[in-house]
Structure 1
Amino acid sequence: MVRASAVSSSWRHFVIMNGLSKQLCIRMFPEVASIAHVIEVYDRIEPLQIRYEASMEWSCLERENRVYAFLARGFTSFMRKDCILESIVASSTDNYPQEAIHNTLQPGDRIDQRASYWSSEGAVDPTVPETLVYKLTANLCVITEIHIHPFQAYFQFGFPIYSAKAVRFRLGHLKPTYEFENDIKNVTSPALRFINENVVWTYTSPSFPMAHESRLQKFKLPEPALCIGGYLQIELLDRVQKQEMDEKYYICVCHVQVVGRPLSPAYDVDIIDPKGKCTLKYYPDAEHCCSPIKSEGEASSSPSRFRSFTASIRGWEQMILNTLLGGGVVVGDDDDEDSDDDGIVGVV
């Protein structure tokens, strides 16, 4: 659709007026529907231009079309990458800082001849869950897999593996700054309380069984998930291994990876209300891997030849709208019936 609109002014007008680039993004990731505003941020000073009111409205539609078209391309031009920026907090830690969550960012189970892992506190009840919270490398990330390596205590008798029975994942964002900026000055509780009170989880995966094995276990999401806000929670469900020393159950993890694609530096988001409505910021000057879309000035040297087919392509338009928007969408005047039998049987 975008490529066709680059060589035909009538197609371009049709795509922009119907917001097809945004609708495509929403079809790919329904979370995009939470985007309330779109802005472009340049690293240069733009000259002041005086425009008519009607052209300002068209300019906004053009901007949205351009931004969402690049966003859709970013979704499909996928590059596997570890998306964890830093560890935030664990629900409990047995021995801090020796067994803290930051150890899970290092591959392997040893650093400088010492064991490297996170350990929960012990629990008599094996059903007590644990959580690990991480900040992702960007506020806008497409996540496909999470990898977790349970820790095997090679220094204990029998080499026990402290895995969980199952694991579940959540993605989310902080509440808008104005929601907690005044209260944060008075917060004396640990980071866990802050996360519990100020992070909104907008995506929850199904639970996945975890093998009682010391290896990097890969948990692939049913569908790629778009994280708007940049926070990940790993929920470790049910304990398997009891420590012989104190007869309590523990969960230990030596490494975590989050596989996906950060959409920075080309894109960023600002959360503007507690329900997750946000402003999408696009940085055209930023280096990103989206191929540039032809501008109108780069269109075919004879765009007028396409205009003569305006009546005959109405069937194409309706078919594509039905495909992208799920059917039931009618565009055009009631007198379009004359063009129903133009012999167009499909779109390649």
Structure 2
Amino acid sequence: MEGGIDFVTVFDVDITSSILELLSDPCDLLRASAVSRAWHHFLIANGLCKKLWLRKVPQVTYIAYSVKKIDGKNKLVNVASKNTVNWSSSLGKERKLVFTLYHPIPHNGINKLINVTSKNHNFNWGNLDMEHKLFSSLLHTLSKPITSPKFIMSFRVGASSTDQNPPVTIINTLTPELYSFWSSKGQNDPNAPEYLLYKLMTSVSIVTEVHIQPLEVFWETGKPVYSARSVRFRLGHSKLLSEADIDTFLINRPSLDKYVWTYASPWFPMRQESCLQTFKLPEPVVCVNGVFLIELLGRAQKDIDGLYYIRLGYAKIMGQTLDTAFHTDVHPSGEVQLDYYPHSAGSGLRSFSSKNKEDTVRENEELCMGMARGLLDFLDDEDEEEEEEEN
């Protein structure tokens, strides 16, 4: 910054951190990292990318990892048991999601447990740089416009009930067709609940909102809308470790006891209107090897047979998915392992859907991100050259 003053070298560290932590847009923070070498080093040394990601995704409140050489590869292992995320289920029980980061790194001889949310860490520069790149990649995902997954909910598990006259199953909610819908069985009780269960097709998803369209029966007098009174969403994963053990065919009233629920949203009111209604989650939610549950409470409409029904025409979730740089596994202990392979990130982090009208905006954003990454790589290369000269 010739002819000017670089404020990161002038102000106190706490003041500078407080200023930069005001940046809430991931793109702004990543651009800040490319301003100069001093800014780049400051963001790395103070873990600002990590802090922003944890603010954006408060579901993950503690992450710890260690680095160890296994089978000729450097991996992060031996995670502390307190590395958990708490949530309250609908039954009032406490559940925990253990979120572990594995990262192959080029440094040898490192075997150290790291609490990446601690303010009092004593990292060496290699660990700090590794952490910065990992969370920069995660922030890159959050910087993308939210889109609808083309195939994310294409795997349906089942519904709590299905009207069989004629059969109108959960499969019909996957496409927005005029005569395609799911219907519950009729009930005398207008407060009787229902649920729909889907298997997500991506390894790691970040869900931000859900869209649901209740059915308007336009062929009946008055065109009644068979909405629920309220809706809630749950995300989790199967207790079974093998994908082959998970239900792969449509079942009636699937057991929810087979799943560990890592997130439960608040209840949202549903309008008795036949339009695509948006339910925005309070914060982005990470779902690993996930299942997605729609819980429906209350019935707004009675049919001509005197029974209350809920009927939905279409449902979709909105958000982002992590691409080839990330892979997940669930261990018998319940620990969720997130593998990060930075050399696979060259293929980019993709949004859920295929090319659509938002592509121009997204491509421009990716161009900016790519330019920032190129400068960051250049700064990293210069740092490595300086270290070699010093040695």
Q: TM-score range by the shorter chain?
A: 0.5 to 0.7
The 5 A counterparts of 1:230-269 are: 230-245=290-305, 247-269=306-328
**1:47-83 CA distances to partner (integer Å, 9 max, x unpaired)?**
xx8x652599865554333122111122123342335
**1:24-60 CA distances to partner (integer Å, 9 max, x unpaired)?**
321221234343122359xxxxxxx8x6525998655
**1:123-161 CA distances to partner (integer Å, 9 max, x unpaired)?**
121211111122334232222221111112233344332
Tell me the residue number matched to 2:172: 103
Tell me the residue number matched to 1:160: 224
Q: Distance in 2 between matches of 1:31 and 1:165?
A: 27
- How many angstroms does 1:212 deviate by? 1.4
Tell me the residue number matched to 1:23: 51
**1:226-256 CA distances to partner (integer Å, 9 max, x unpaired)?**
33333221111111222222x2211111111
**1:7-31 CA distances to partner (integer Å, 9 max, x unpaired)?**
538963x655655433332122123
- How many angstroms does 1:257 deviate by? 1.9
Q: 1:77 aligns with which of 144, 147, 153?
A: 144
CA 1:254–1:40: 2 relative to 1, 3 Å: farther
CA 1:121–1:9: 2 relative to 1, 3 Å: same
Establish whether residue 93 from structure 1 lines up as the match of residue 162 from structure 2: yes
- How many angstroms does 1:301 deviate by? 10
Q: Distance in 2 between matches of 1:285 and 1:11?
A: 21
Any unmatched runs of 5+ in structure 2? 1-28, 63-97, 113-123, 351-365, 384-391
Q: 2:275 aligns with which of 210, 215, 219?
A: 215
Output the amino acid matched with 1:203: Y
Q: 1:8 aligns with which of 5, 21, 37?
A: 37
Output the amino acid matched with 1:174: S
**1:323-347 CA distances to partner (integer Å, 9 max, x unpaired)?**
xxxxxxxxxxxxxxxxxxxxxxxxx
Q: Distance in 2 between matches of 1:146 and 1:52?
A: 45
Q: Distance in 1 between matches of 2:224 and 2:190?
A: 16
Tell me the residue number matched to 2:119: none
Q: Distance in 1 between matches of 2:166 and 2:103?
A: 42
CA 1:120–1:16: 2 relative to 1, 3 Å: same
Output the amino acid matched with 2:99: I
Output the amino acid matched with 2:164: N
TM-score scaled by structure 1?
Answer: 0.68
**1:85-120 CA distances to partner (integer Å, 9 max, x unpaired)?**
43221111112883010101111322xxxxx11011
Q: Distance in 2 between matches of 1:131 and 1:24?
A: 34
1:84 partner SS = coil
Q: Distance in 1 between matches of 2:222 and 2:171?
A: 27
- How many angstroms does 1:268 deviate by? 3.2
Q: Distance in 1 between matches of 2:248 and 2:173?
A: 27
Output the amino acid matched with 1:268: H
Tell me the residue number matched to 2:115: none
Q: Distance in 1 between matches of 2:268 and 2:142?
A: 25
Tell me the residue number matched to 1:205: 265
Establish whether residue 149 from structure 1 lines up as the match of residue 199 from structure 2: no
CA 1:219–1:185: 2 relative to 1, 3 Å: closer
Output the amino acid matched with 1:229: N
Tell me the residue number matched to 1:299: 379
CA 1:35–1:156: 2 relative to 1, 3 Å: same
CA 1:236–1:294: 2 relative to 1, 3 Å: same
**Contact conserved, 1:109 with 1:255, CA < 8 A, in 2?**
no
Output the amino acid matched with 1:8: R
The worse-fitting range, judged by mean Cα deviation, of 156-165 and 127-136 is 156-165
Among the aligned pairs, what percent are the same residue? Answer: 34
The 5 A counterparts of 1:261-300 are: 261-272=320-331, 275=334, 277-282=336-341, 283-288=344-349, 291-292=369-370, 293-294=373-374, 298-299=378-379
Tell me the residue number matched to 1:139: 203
1:256 partner SS = strand
Output the amino acid matched with 1:251: I
Output the amino acid matched with 2:37: S
